Amino acid sequence: MNRLKLRQELERFFIEDIATADLTSQLLFKSDQIGTGRLLMKEEGIFAGEQIVREGFNLISEEIKVEFHVRDGASLVQGETLATLEGPVVSILEGERVILNLIQRMSGIATMTHHATKLVEGSEIKICDTRKTTPGLRMFEKYAVRCGGGVNHRLTLDGGVMIKDNHIAMFGSIENGVQHVRQALGPMTKIEVETESAAQVKAAVEAKADIIMFDNRSPSEIKEMVELVPDHIATEASGGITLDTLADYKDCGVQFISLGALTHSVKGLDISLELEVD
């Protein structure tokens, strides 16, 4: 993650949570009182968020020392220590909640992504996310997908052209839509077309789309449609695919499967901070 962008976002989160001061901690502890703590995994999963911990506590106080024992993407068991902290108690407690909230969610996303990749293991399919992310958290959630072994789809709307059903209906046809945007684009931007039938797949191929998505199609339907696509055009399956059905798509022939559930239906991992006052 970009460090400047990360620190900007963390500052915003801390301002929202702390406001003027951590009233409880400032009343209970002296400003120079030192504490040591451990970040602990309370359940099994994939960790994501090392940079959040380092940059987050550093923003709160440069006196907080952080030592990590694992790296992003590591598979951890219950009770394992992620990192040890040492620094002013008041400062550690000020940053605790925001940092835990972020790394719990990110680690949950990384864990679900890792599980998804295992379900298609042995194929050449790559699992990718969508733009169904939490507003304000996209950078964190997309990074977590990568920690879990997935790849990112568009980060933003300007990351590529995706011609979907509403675009096609309003513009008249796939061919006209692709031709229109191709004339306005430079050579570095790819065009993806969402398809729901063999006729639409053929139209997207004729229009020279860079990527063809099979939307809400069964594995057997995709197997037939993918045969219509030349090797130089990338293929993606999306829509209606869940972790329960993902393995059924393992041999459907696409290169990518995108899952909105990776970011919109994830449960955060249980991670805690155990703090002792010196």
Q: Which residues are catalytic?
A: 97, 132, 164, 194, 215
What is the dihedral angle through the alpha carbons of 198, 255, 250, 132, rounded to the nearest 10 degrees?
-90
- CA distance linking residue 255 with residue 235, whole number of Å: 5
Buried b (16+ CB within 10 A) or exposed e, 56-80: bbbbbeeebebebebebbbebeeeb
- CA distance linking residue 2 with residue 55, whole number of Å: 11
Q: Which residue has the tokens 């620190």?
A: 7
- CA distance linking residue 3 with residue 11, whole number of Å: 12
Q: Which residue has the tokens 């733009």?
A: 131
The angle formed by the CA atoms of residues 212, 234 and 125, to the nearest 5 degrees, is 110
Strands 234-238 and 211-215: parallel
